[in-house]
Structure 1
Amino acid sequence: MNQPVPEPVFETLLNRLSDRTATVGVIGLGYVGLPLAAACARAGFKVTGFDIDEAKTTALGKGLSYIDAVASEELAGHVSARRFEATSDFAHLKHCDAVVICVPTPLSKHREPDLSYVSGTAEQIADRLRPGHLIVLESTTYPGTTLEVLKPILEAGGLRSGADFWLGFSPEREDPGNDRYHTASIPKVVAGDGEQASDLMKALYGAVVDTVVPVSTPSVAEAVKITENVFRAVNIALVNELKVIYDAMGIDVWEVIDAASTKPFGFMPFYPGPGLGGHCIPIDPFYLTWKSREYGLPTRFIELAGEINVAMPKYVVGRLRDELDQQQSVALGAAAILVLGLAYKKNVSDIRESPSFALIELLEKHGCKVEFHDPHVGEIPMTREHADLAGRKSSDLTAEAVAQYNAVLVSTDHDAIDYQLVANSAKLIVDARNAFARRGLAGAHIVKA
């Protein structure tokens, strides 16, 4: 009796992805990984989430989400339906058909790429790699990382990309706090190492998101993400520089931008602030700066933009110092300051690379007594860069409390803040986000920075 001919490994994986019977592993359950895991579960895949933080995996296993973009109610539904489980045991990788890497890619102190999380994760996968795996990198990095860093680690055991397993890159495009777009509705750029890998990438993400945008190589996909973030970093630096120039001229940069935005072509509004925050824009452009040195090419725009944006906290503190001196005859070092907003952007709890940290540290270096209020961040968690601030709690925002400070410094313009109360109670307000003017609140004690 003839034995049935085994179905080729590629076709088996393609079919499992297409009919959504594949198991998807997501490594790194943060602001990128957890929304992706939820989207995959929502699409019908069985999902295993991996994270080295056992406190996170324990919470997720109980259906408790710590990411605003994923509601605990939804997560609990996926857990109870056995569509999602979380673990810190990487041995479960062998049961996954597709594995997506969503780990941090920070910069070193010398502004060089730190790919230790990517490399360490790749080694974990390599120990469990089997024929038929699809491995995808989503972590933002410089063009060439997937093929030059990830691929050699995975191939070290003898299996080959494009023959035994498949490899691809798809840049994350999460925007915390954006109610208009979510993981499934944001077009997804995908690229594979070879035609088969590309087909598998399209099958996986085509089942999860509304629109898939294939590009020719992983390096192109990596360059797409870098380009998006360079574009924002350079334009934000431009308006930050204009803010300083126009302020010296007595011109309100926000009024200028609002008026310029009425032009129906040739202008796109960007807004100034106290510095750049989030994981992407302050960090990712420098990945390209680092990589360009390999080709002996300068990145003058990117480096200049970085210098301007990094200098903004000092500029804001300088404006605060001048206003304290003029309005209260109080030296900066003798002042009590309330920083309004700790998160890096409005209406989220995400504190990654928040300029508020730079402002607090600068003020305390000058001798100020500094407290913060943030309706979305009750306590500063432990971070690698600001460990000495961990454990500090958000102060109450009452009229009596606000009146005790020499100044309120607006760093993040959350909608949940009672700006009228602050306007009525504060001695001095230095607003780096134009939050008060946008709400029609004005006064000699409210100044823009």
Structure 2
Amino acid sequence: MPADLAVIGLRHHGLPLAQAAALAAVDTLGFDPDPRTVSELAAGRPPVEGSLSAAEIRRMLGAGFRATGDPAELGRVRTAVICTPTPLGADHTLDLTALHEAARTLAARLRPHTTVVLESTAYPGTTEGLLRSVLEEGSGLRAGRDFHLACSPGRHDPGSRTHDYAHIPKVIGGLTPACTEAAAAFYGRICEKVVRARGPREAEAVKVLETNYRHVNIALVNEMSWYCHDLDIDLWDVIRCAETKPFGFQAFRPGPGVGGHGVAIDPNYLPYSSRSLGYPLRMVELAQEVNGRMPRYVTQRCAQLLNEHGKSVRGARVLLLGVTYKPDLGDLEGAPAHEIGSRLMELGAHLSFHDPYVAQWRVHGHPVPRADALYEAAAAADLTVLLQTHRTYDLQGLAVKAQLMLDSRGASPTGAAQRL
């Protein structure tokens, strides 16, 4: 049967859109080529960690949402939104393979007057370059004349209780003014505010700016953490005072590394286009370099603390608290805990971990023992390292129990633990 919307790609970017649309009474179909993803959703279970909860999935199903792996159903929708993952590849460029395959699948079934929107993270030029060419070649239709084509970069804050899909303004840039208005009409049904960009490249560049803004500012404060530690300055007090400035400053805080799905993007690396500036974005490169050093720095601080207390890393019992990339989520994507654990193991430490959202965790292919009795494990460990600030952690109580504690997030009460 026809549907108002097809969400193509049912993972971290696609599921929030499908949820918002279904709960706004938009007849929503979810398409994913992975049979396991489809079967898990049909059974009311989240297909990936850190996405929606089982209760949220069941509510979507109750609102009429259905998932399918049958491409034929894409030929009976009014709007198709591509939300496939575009992770960084080994060469540090965005891997557009899944996006390309989704476009090919949709193109073979594309009907006139359909609105196609790209939400996946992509380089500026992807919508009117790669995506447009694949859709036109596979369908025989022309974008801007026979079907509408636009970009609306994903803006999702996983696990947030305040920033849900409907309340985050949607930026939209269409190939033509009519394309923009067609996409705006759709998003206006599920979002409170729609922001019209000049075109798809501007909309794609919004994602580049927003993501790189986060990475560059985290890198700055991570460098400040090294600087302040070497000069015996309390960085956390510095930040507390600085954020009282009512203009020109936004507080960012250091941490053990930057994880998650919002990767830093250098738009000059365009594997499908010859139009490049010929030089990298230096700020982005430097931010990646600085943030990439944080797991090594945390490991060095662990060794330093143990040494100051007459212990060696080799043979030390080290408990890692929180191994996910974000608080109160079970998503391990890009979490710095893996590299920190790996480095500590290479130095000879005996690792254990605790995370209320992770039942099993492996480093170098080996399972790391999970501490079920948290306070007893902290008391037994030579060093406890807080990597993620899940709400269930009583940091004051843990600091009292732990022999030695390193807080990489600055979340524990002042004086309760060593801070990064």
Give TM-score scaled by structure 2 length.
0.93
- Is residue 63 from structure 1 mapped to residue 39 from structure 2 by the alignment? no
Asked whether the 8 Å contact 2:264–2:284 carries over to 1, the reply is: no
**Offset of residue 92 of structure 1:** 1.6
- The farther-off stretch of 57-66 and 371-380 is 57-66
Letter in 1 for 2:365: D
**Offset of residue 248 of structure 1:** 0.4
- 1:25-424 matched pairs, under 5 angstroms: 25-65=6-46, 70-81=52-63, 83-157=64-138, 158-280=140-262, 283-286=263-266, 288-291=267-270, 294-327=276-309, 329-380=310-361, 388=365, 394-424=370-400
Provide the secondary structure at the position in 2 that maps to 1:321: helix
**Offset of residue 400 of structure 1:** 2.3
Asked whether the 8 Å contact 2:11–2:51 carries over to 1, the reply is: no
Asked whether the 8 Å contact 2:407–2:418 carries over to 1, the reply is: yes
Q: Matched residues in 2 for 1:47 and 1:237: separation?
A: 40
Deviation string 1:289-335 (CA, Å, 9 cap, x unpaired) is: 424982123311111111110001111110110111111x2221222
- Is residue 426 from structure 1 mapped to residue 402 from structure 2 by the alignment? yes
Structure 1 residues 123 and 380: alpha-carbon distance in aligned structure 2, compared to 1, 3 A threshold: farther
Sequence identity percentage: 39
Provide the secondary structure at the position in 1 that maps to 2:167: coil
Q: Matched residues in 2 for 1:143 and 1:317: separation?
A: 37
Q: Matched residues in 2 for 1:25 and 1:106: separation?
A: 22
Q: Matched residues in 2 for 1:289 and 1:302: separation?
A: 11
Provide the secondary structure at the position in 2 that maps to 1:160: coil
Asked whether the 8 Å contact 1:188–1:212 carries over to 2, the reply is: yes
Q: Matched residues in 1 for 2:93 and 2:50: separation?
A: 30
Q: Matched residues in 1 for 2:322 and 2:157: separation?
A: 18
Letter in 2 for 1:365: E
Asked whether the 8 Å contact 2:81–2:117 carries over to 1, the reply is: yes
**Offset of residue 402 of structure 1:** 2.1
Q: Matched residues in 1 for 2:275 and 2:184: separation?
A: 33
| Structure 2 gap segments, 5+ residues each | none
Asked whether the 8 Å contact 2:324–2:337 carries over to 1, the reply is: yes
**Offset of residue 22 of structure 1:** 5.0
Deviation string 1:10-51 (CA, Å, 9 cap, x unpaired) is: xxxxxxxxxxx9520111112221111011111211111122
| Structure 1 gap segments, 5+ residues each | 1-20
**Offset of residue 430 of structure 1:** 1.1
Query: Number of matched residues?
Result: 414
Deviation string 1:116-170 (CA, Å, 9 cap, x unpaired) is: 1111111111222222222111011111111111111111132111122221110
Letter in 2 for 1:388: G
- Is residue 447 from structure 1 mapped to residue 393 from structure 2 by the alignment? no
Letter in 2 for 1:403: A
Q: Matched residues in 1 for 2:38 and 2:398: separation?
A: 39
Q: Matched residues in 1 for 2:17 and 2:228: separation?
A: 42
Letter in 2 for 1:330: K
Asked whether the 8 Å contact 2:174–2:199 carries over to 1, the reply is: yes
Asked whether the 8 Å contact 1:141–1:284 carries over to 2, the reply is: no
Structure 1 residues 394 and 136: alpha-carbon distance in aligned structure 2, compared to 1, 3 A threshold: farther
Asked whether the 8 Å contact 1:373–1:397 carries over to 2, the reply is: no
Deviation string 1:52-93 (CA, Å, 9 cap, x unpaired) is: 333332232233346767454453344234x21012222221
- The farther-off stretch of 127-136 and 39-48 is 127-136
Q: Matched residues in 1 for 2:398 and 2:206: separation?
A: 42
**Offset of residue 373 of structure 1:** 0.9
**Offset of residue 342 of structure 1:** 1.1
Give TM-score scaled by structure 1 length.
0.87
Asked whether the 8 Å contact 2:79–2:116 carries over to 1, the reply is: yes
Q: Matched residues in 1 for 2:57 and 2:219: separation?
A: 38
Provide the secondary structure at the position in 2 that maps to 1:97: strand
Q: Matched residues in 1 for 2:56 and 2:166: separation?
A: 15
Provide the secondary structure at the position in 2 that maps to 1:204: helix
Q: Matched residues in 2 for 1:267 and 1:162: separation?
A: 42
**Offset of residue 399 of structure 1:** 2.6
Provide the secondary structure at the position in 1 that maps to 2:160: coil
- The farther-off stretch of 225-234 and 56-65 is 56-65
Provide the secondary structure at the position in 2 that maps to 1:37: helix
Provide the secondary structure at the position in 1 that maps to 2:331: coil
Q: Matched residues in 1 for 2:264 and 2:194: separation?
A: 23
Greater share of helix: 1
- The farther-off stretch of 422-431 and 32-41 is 422-431
Structure 1 residues 411 and 210: alpha-carbon distance in aligned structure 2, compared to 1, 3 A threshold: same
Asked whether the 8 Å contact 2:354–2:374 carries over to 1, the reply is: no
- 1:10-21 matched pairs, under 5 angstroms: none
**Offset of residue 376 of structure 1:** 1.8
Asked whether the 8 Å contact 1:36–1:183 carries over to 2, the reply is: yes
